[in-house]
Amino acid sequence: MASYLVTGVAGFVGAAVAARLLGAGHEVTGVDNLTTGFRENIPSGCVFLQGNCQDETLYARLPQRDYAAIYHIAGQSSGEISFDDPVYDLQTNAQSTLLLLKFALNSKCRRFLYASTMSVYGDQPDAPVAEDAATNPKSFYGVGKLASEHYLRIYRQYGIESACLRLFNIYGPGQNMENLRQGMVSIYLAQALKNRHIHVKGSGERYRDLVYIDDVVDAFLMLERAADGPARIYNVGTSVRTTVGELIEKIRKLLPFEVSVKYDGSTPGDMFGITADCRKIARETGWQARVGLNEGLQRMVTWAMPSASGQRQ
């Protein structure tokens, strides 16, 4: 049994990672400020501490353990929201990483896994993007995440082995269905379930790489075992291109009622389209996404609306 620290433990991804670690018999200490996460999400058995990762006083309150690794997953996770308060975004997404790295060093924890994002890339040519592509983030969110990646690089010289997971669009059971500004699949599905209407802010031709939550948890755990050696940044996606229009049609087909759609407006900092080249993580860890979009969406709809178990004829 090992001890782990997981930040963002009340959120979609953090709760799933913590649950998997606990399920494998490990001890997990979780931190969350409950801004977008929910106490009910925190898996049972997790030692929970409420606090802000960008708050220095948090670190004196954290239980002193021999943490085998820190999974830093907390953060404001919407490009759109980062335009509301860029300073807060910098604190939650960059300063938090710096303080956690300092904590890792002081507590002799040598493994650090970081939830970065595809948003560090910005607009790219229409082909799967590899980790060595130029980074030109279009949102304050992407800038903060990229800064964190660089902090991790610098801390490697102090012996902190790290992996940055450039996560593409994650979806699946457990995603926040209340926040209509965060998460592409959850936003459209929540609108459809609540209003029987989807308002798309932007073109239906935009495209994304949609990756299922269980596959993302697998990637975190596989990279923890592999977080050494020179390669430290990994795309985590499927390499499959799905347009917004295609996604919406799939959602509509899975629901047992009619859903109307309006395309109108735009979102600040939105990227037109991106898909992941995932050959590096596959080569180095053997990881690959296993759950296809149809299967994953079906599971998510069943979770969000248990009565919608079958497709509409």
DSSP output for the chain: --EEEEESTTSHHHHHHHHHHHHTT-EEEEEE--SS--GGGSPTT-EEEE--TT-TTHHHHS----EEEEEE--S---HHHHTT-HHHHHIIIIIHHHHHHHHHHHTT--EEEEEEEGGGT-S--SSPBPTTS----SSHHHHHHHHHHHHHHHHGGGT-EEEEEEE-EEESTT--SS-TTS-HHHHHHHHHHHHSEEEESS-TT-EE-EEEHHHHHHHHHHHHHH--SS--EEEES-S--EEHHHHHHHHHHHSSS--EEEE----TT--SB--B--HHHHHHH-------HHHHHHHHHHHH-TT--S---
Instruction: Find the shortest distance in angstroms from Cβ 119 to ligand NAD.
Output: 7
Which entry of 4, 121, 141, 234 is annotated as an active-site residue? 141
Instruction: Find the shortest distance in angstroms from Cβ 169 to ligand NAD.
Output: 5
Q: Which residues bind ligand NAD (CB under 6 A)?
A: 7-8, 10-14, 31-37, 52-54, 73-77, 92, 96, 115, 117, 167, 169-170, 176, 183
Instruction: Find the shortest distance in angstroms from Cβ 175 to ligand NAD.
Output: 7
Instruction: Find the shortest distance in angstroms from Cβ 103 to ligand NAD.
Output: 13
Which of 22, 73 has the CB closer to ligand NAD? 73
Check if 141 is active-site. yes
Which of 8, 259 has the CB closer to ligand NAD? 8
Active-site positions? 141
